[in-house]
Amino acid sequence: MIPIYEPLIDSSESSMVAKCVESGWISSRSPMVADFEKSFLQYLCAEPESGLAVSSGSAALLLALKTLGIGRGHEVLVPSMTFSATVSMILLAGATPRFMDVDPKTWVITPEILEKALSAKTRCVIAVHLYGNMPDMEGIMKIVSSKGILLIEDAAEAHGSSFGRRKAGTFGDAGIFSFFGNKIITTGEGGFTVFRNPSATATARMMRNHGTAGQGDYSSRHIGLSCRMTGMQAALGLAQLEKMDEIISRKNTIAAAYEKNLLAQTRLSLQKFTPGWSGIPWLTSLLLPHECASEREKIISRMGENGIQIYTTFTALHTLKPFQQARGTGSLDVSESIGLRGISLPSGPSLTTDMVDHICETLMKFT
């Protein structure tokens, strides 16, 4: 079976994790956690000490919301086309999500969509970098900056992406990443939060640790969480960061192979990328023809029978029961259409161009 995603892991990860275990420092107090934080911030070209590693991408987002003071009575604008964790964390923070639609070609918000969605109650915007693609961050920044609105980047799927000369996750008041096993680099489970304001980072460090300053301190300054990254996760992450350039190069080759196979035909519509964006797609994703939408599950099953694992895209969240109390800011038809017609193709860095050719040939037989 060709899996939807498989991380690039070899003996270097095994050696680094073994080194952590042999040191005896396997918990969040391992020096490797600080080493990983420093290395990832250097990769982002972010300020030293401006971010921290946590236990998951979801924890990273909840920590960002709570640290920035987002909670009851605050409206947070968020696209309906995103993974459920984005909106779940808004609700867990006590805030009120309001859904925006996305662009039909890029599948992300635009400055025009955001401008129309704003209300007097809007306190924060979450810009989701869907499948690695980023919105027009310069346009988004102009709007939020002029109105004093907080901006959080959900860059869970956007390691290796940039807009202009700045890396994903470094535009907003906060940016978050996921290191789950199917992400571009992985720590098994894990996440990262980057802040613009150094004082926010210091607060988040305490909130990550039950609201305390750390080892031996039992005087909580904040209502906190326990969402620390372990030394073993950090060890895996350090080895993965050494491979980042190789992973990006491999995934660029894979993305180019998909484009070569699929751009020329008209029935399948690949997700397009925002002008000014550079990087790699996390998962190569596309829309099936309208007439094939009702057959999507059957197509996925047939691909599986042929040894190829494909997924549906995310479901538009406003259509799901847990999130139906959240109002939209207008029509959400584009998000709904992507949720009904979209599929994601195998995109792991170990794919070969021959495998991509086979995937595309098989897909076109069934569509």
Contact yes or no for 175/193 (Cβ under 8 A):
yes
Closest CA to 112 of 123, 100, 130, 121: 100
d(CA 301, CA 263): 24
DSSP result, 241-307: HHTHHHHHHHHHHHHHHHHHHHTT-SSSEEPP--TTEES--SS-EEEPPGGGGGGHHHHHHHHHHTT
DSSP state for residue 210 in the 8-state scheme: T
Q: Decide: 212 and 225 in contact? Cβ < 8 Å.
A: no
In DSSP notation, 51-75 reads EEEES-HHHHHHHHHHHTT--TT-E
User: What φ, ψ does residue 209 adopt, rounded to 5°?
Assistant: -125, 55
As a whole number of angstroms, the distance between CA 8 and CA 131 comes to 18
Q: Parallel, antiparallel, or unpaired: how do β-strands 166-167 and 162-163 relate?
A: antiparallel
The answer to whether residue 243 is catalytic is: no
Note whether 228 and 55 are within 8 A (CB).
Answer: yes
The residue from 66, 142, 147, 183 that is catalytic is 183
Residue with tokens 């397009």: 272
Helices and strands per DSSP (H, E), number in the chain: 12, 14
Residue 116, CA distances (Å) to 113, 135, 149, 154, 201 in order: 5, 16, 15, 21, 32
Which of the residues are catalytic? Answer: 183
